[in-house]
Amino acid sequence: MESSREEAPTEVDVSPGVFFDDDYCRHTVRFPDAVKRVAYSFDGYGKFSSREWDLRQLEGEGFCWYHVELPRSSQNLAVFAQYLIDVLCPPLKLQDILALVSNGPFCGTIDGALVFKVNSAGPPTSKFTQRIAAIVRDNMVISVSLGCVARLDFSRISPKLLLMEVPSTEPTCLGEVGDSHHGSLGTGGVVIPEHVLEFLLTMSHHEHADNAVPKGVGNLLVHIIDTHVDQLHDTVLHLETHLDDVERSLDTGVGATKKQMLDDRRFPKMHLDLQRLLQVIAHGDQVFPRVKEKCRGKAWCTSEDLATLEVLVARLQKLKENVGFIANRITAIQAGLDSWQAEQINRKLYYLSFLSVIFLPLSVVTGAFGMNVGGVPWTKQIDPTLLHGFQNVLLLCMVIVMLLLAGFGAEPLYIYFATRHKHQAVKAKWLGSKRSFQYRGSPHYVQL
């Protein structure tokens, strides 16, 4: 009983301002390679350094930042929650973990810390599913993202990065100097292949950039939200580029290309991805204004930070309008493909009707001479009692045809003759008016 009493867990106070010793914060990780995590310390004067993952707040000046990058794998939310519990508990509580990993928008205060999230529901493997959440305290920020977020890290740029090189055009002939491989030296610099340029042009914000080092918690919060908005902008730009390629393929392609797009259900899938992206933007448009209001009055948030948050909210609204334009383009292209498919079906029906016109008289002739009645000409039926059977059948067929014509053709004939009579009356009235004007204009006309 005493041993069980000693092993019972004790409640720990995790309110802001409480610091934890090394024995409490350093624990065994069950999933060491499941998530990517980084930690930095900032002195508040534009300098930073990496630090150990101890989840402790800094004493004195400066602040720290702990970031967890969830993998884009086919995992459910419960597995993601286990990953966060493994690396963030302690000091975080279960309510903090649930606030960070659950779906939907949220902005509020938990244990004196500002907590917000913009987590869209959807498969984590889709690039249109975005998740960003953070816990902000006076001198510590804990953030969680789904996948890699461009420009979020503060790692210094290596001088050997491709973006820092002087580019050169790719050789088009075998006799030119240089090679077409990635990173090869040409006559004027590094040769950039065409497919690499196409990939870079789909991104307006590259993964590595010389980010300004934040001097306060408010600057770091603005940086996290700014990179999230940039990632949404890159996703929209990539979707626009893909849509331009699809339109170009439709303009220059043949019927097989259009049929393949219809069979692949490409545009319904694009509509679904666009709705997911629109959901993320709507969540951000709902959360970030509340974050700005929550930050107002905080000691670590300056007026410049609030102004930057206002600009980011305006960018989200413009991005939402742009997504609406893309949705209209997709709808127009889908309507064009549906019209093309209906035209193809009508053409096939026309061919079928043409064949029916050819073979219908032949079917009538063969059906008439295949009747099992007497009096069929050019046959050997000599029974005098059935001599008029063929004539009677033809007469019955004519009566049926007349009834059908009377039933289905009476209304069109009535409309035709009524319209014709109306046109003749209008024409006669117009001719009478013309003769009247000609008579009045003659020299023999005298007005009384």
Question: Which domain CATH number covers 327?
Answer: 1.20.58.340
Predicted pLDDT at 164: 59
Q: Clarify whether residues 125 and 205 are in a common domain.
A: yes
Same domain, 276 and 402: no
328 lies in some domain: yes
pLDDT digits (tens, 9 = 90+) for 194-229: 656 665 665 555 444 557 788 889 999 999 999 999
Percent of the chain with pLDDT over 90: 15
Mean predicted confidence (pLDDT) in 29-33: 69
Judge whether residue 115 has pLDDT over 60.
yes
Tally of structural domains, the chain: 2
C-alpha 275/C-alpha 285 separation (Å) is: 15
Query: Is there a single domain that holds both residue 232 and residue 304?
Result: yes
DSSP string, 252-313: H--HHHHHHHHHHTHHHHHHHHHHHHHHHHHHHHHHHHHHHHHHTT-TT--HHHHHHHHHHH
Most confident of 137-146, 268-277, 364-373, 430-439: 137-146
**162, two tokens:** 């491709």
The answer to whether residue 376 is domain-embedded is: no
Cis bond leading into 123, ω under 30°? Answer: no
pLDDT recorded at residue 210: 58
**Residue 253 in contact with residue 227, Cβ under 8 Å?**
no
Distance CA 327, CA 273 (A): 10
Among residues 152, 24, 133, 144, the alpha carbon closest in space to that of 89 is found at: 24
How far is residue 229's CA from residue 226's CA, in Å, rounded to a whole number?
A: 5
Q: pLDDT value at position 20?
A: 41
pLDDT in tens, 61-101: 789 999 999 998 888 888 898 888 888 888 888 888 988 99
pLDDT attached to residue 196? 62
* Tokens of residue 139, six digits: 């001198």
Classify strands 190-191 and 167-168 as parallel, antiparallel or unpaired.
parallel
Question: Which whole-number Å values give the CA distances from 365 to 23, 247, 360, 394, 445, in the listed order?
Answer: 101, 52, 9, 12, 70
Centre a 10 Å sphere on the Cβ of residue 127 and count the other Cβ atoms it contains. Answer: 16
Tell me what the mean pLDDT of segment 416-440 comes to. 71
- Which of 288, 317, 342 is the endpoint of a domain? 342
What is the distance between the alpha carbons of residues 49 and 34, in angstroms, rounded to a whole number?
24
Does the pLDDT value for residue 336 go beyond 80? yes
Strand partners, 39: 66
pLDDT digits (tens, 9 = 90+) for 233-280: 988 888 888 888 888 888 777 777 778 788 778 888 888 888 888 889
Examine the domain organization and report whether 271 and 204 are in the same domain: yes
- The reply to whether 237 falls in a domain is yes
The whole domain housing 396 covers 384-434
Give domain status of residue 3, yes or no.
no
| pLDDT for 223 | 92
Contact in structure between 45 and 215 (CB atoms under 8 Å): yes
Q: What is the pLDDT of residue 434?
A: 54
More confident residue, 323 or 392: 323
Mean pLDDT value across the chain: 76
State the pLDDT at residue 288.
Answer: 93
DSSP for 200-213? Answer: HHT-SS-SS--PPP
| The predicted structure's pLDDT at residue 163 | 60
Between 433 and 294, residue with greater pLDDT? 294
Do 79 and 199 fall into the same domain?
yes
Residue 390 and residue 306 share a domain: no
What is the reported pTM? 0.66
User: What pLDDT, on a 0 to 100 scale, did the predictor assign at position 436?
Assistant: 56
8 A C-beta contact, residue 114 and residue 224 = no
What is the reported pLDDT for 12?
37
Q: Is residue 5 scored above 50 in pLDDT? A: no
Could you give the CA distance from residue 49 to residue 41 in angstroms, rounded to a whole number?
5
Please tell me whether residues 65 and 150 are part of one structural domain. yes
Residue 116 within any structural domain of the chain: yes
Q: Which of 139, 154, 144 is nearest to 124 (CA)?
A: 144
Q: Give the model's pLDDT for residue 65.
A: 92
- Predicted confidence at residue 23, as pLDDT, reads 45
